[in-house]
Amino acid sequence: MRDKIFWIGLLWVLCFTSVFGQEGSAFGIKLGPSIGFQQWNRGGGNTGLLFRYHADAYIETYSPDASYALFAQAGYHVRGGALRLRGGSFQSSNSNNLITISGRSYPYEFNNLVLSIGAKQRFVRDNDLSLFYLVGVRGEYTLSTNLGDYHRENDPLERFNLIHPFPGSNVRKINYGIIVGAGLDFMFSELVGGMLEISISPDFSQQYFSQAFAYVDPITSQDRNISERRIKNLSIELSLGIRLLRIVEYVDNIF
C-alpha cells in the first residue's frame, strides 16, 4: 500500500510540475484553526466539536489575465470530534455508593497528512485584491490517533461505563473526500501578498469502521454488545497565509 501511495504521489507531482512550469504561479504557506466533528452511525448521532489546527503548503497557476487557476496543496490536519460530558452524580448499579464525575471533554483525534488538488474561480478582481471560490478533491493518510487513550488499560471512564472499548486497529489509514471554500487574495507589493480562506472538507470514506462486538461490562461483569461503527470526518477550516508570485514573461528574439 505504501508503494502505491508513493507512485500515485509521484505521478501527481510530475503532472502538476509540468503545468506550473509553463505558466506563472503563486505559492506559499497557510495555516489556522480547524473545527471538526464526526458523523457516527450509532443512533444517527454526531460527536461534539473538536477545536484544533491545520497547516498547508500550496501552489497554483497564475496569470494576471485569467479568472481561474489550478491549485495543489499538501499539509497536516487534525480531524475528529469530541465527546463532552456535563458531569453529575449517579448511583452505582451494583452498590449503594454515589459516584460523582466532573464535566470533561474527551477528543477523538486523527492526525492526517492531506493532499488536495482542484480549481479556483475569481469573481471579483482588481490589481490588489480578488475574491474567489474553490472546489477540489482530497486524499488523506492517517499518521496517528489518540484512540489508545480509550483502551481498557488507559480509559479514564472505564469504571463509569461511559466510553466503550475503541479498538485503534479499525482506523482506516487511507481516506478521501472533497474540499469547497471561498476567500480573498490581496497584494502587499508586486510579488508578495497574502490570503484569507474558509473551507469545508467532508469525507466520503469512513475514517473508522468496526464490526459489532461484545465486551465485559466493568460494572456489572456482564457481556454487552457494541453495534457496528461507521465514522466519517467533517472539518471547517479558517486559513491565513502568505502568497508569493512567480511571473513568467515570454520575450520574442528578433535576429
Q: Strand 213-216 vs strand 223-226: parallel, antiparallel, or unpaired?
A: antiparallel
Are the beta carbons of 73 and 31 closer than 8 angstroms?
Answer: no
Q: What is the pLDDT of residue 246?
A: 81
Note the pLDDT of residue 74. 94
pLDDT at 39: 83
Query: Could you give the 3-state DSSP secondary structure of residue 130?
Result: strand
Output the pLDDT for position 131. 94
3-state SS, residue 119: strand
Return the pLDDT at 89: 65
With b for 16 or more beta-carbon neighbours within 10 A and e for fewer, the 221-238 pattern comes to eeeeeeeebebbbbbbbb
Domains of the chain, earliest start first: 2-246 (2.40.160.20)
Residue 210 one-letter amino acid? S
One DSSP character per residue, 35-82 reads EEEEEE-GGG-B-B-EEEEEEEEEEEEE-TT-SEEEEEEEEEEEEEEE
In degrees and rounded to multiples of 5, residue 158 shows phi and psi of -55, -45
pTM summary value: 0.78
Residue 209's contacts (CB-CB under 8 Å, 6 or more residues apart) are 170, 172, 228, 229, 230, 231
pLDDT of residue 82: 87
Please give the pLDDT value at position 44.
Answer: 46
**What is 173-239 written as a DSSP string?**
SEEEEEEEEEEEEEESSSSEEEEEEEEEEEBSS-SEEE--EEEE-TTT--EEEE--EEEEEEEEEEE
Non-local (6+) Cβ contacts of 25 within 8 A are: 59, 60, 61, 62, 245, 246
- The pLDDT of residue 161: 44
First to last CA, the chain: 55
Q: Give the model's pLDDT for residue 219.
A: 56
Q: Which stretches of the chain score pLDDT less than 50?
A: 2-3, 6, 43-44, 160-162
Per-residue pLDDT tens digits for 17-64: 555 555 688 999 999 999 998 888 754 456 789 999 999 999 999 888
Q: What is the DSSP letter of 171?
A: B
| Residue 126 pLDDT | 75
Q: Phi then psi for 87, rounded to 5 degrees? A: 85, 165
pLDDT of residue 105: 74
Nearest to 197 by CA among 128, 134, 129: 134
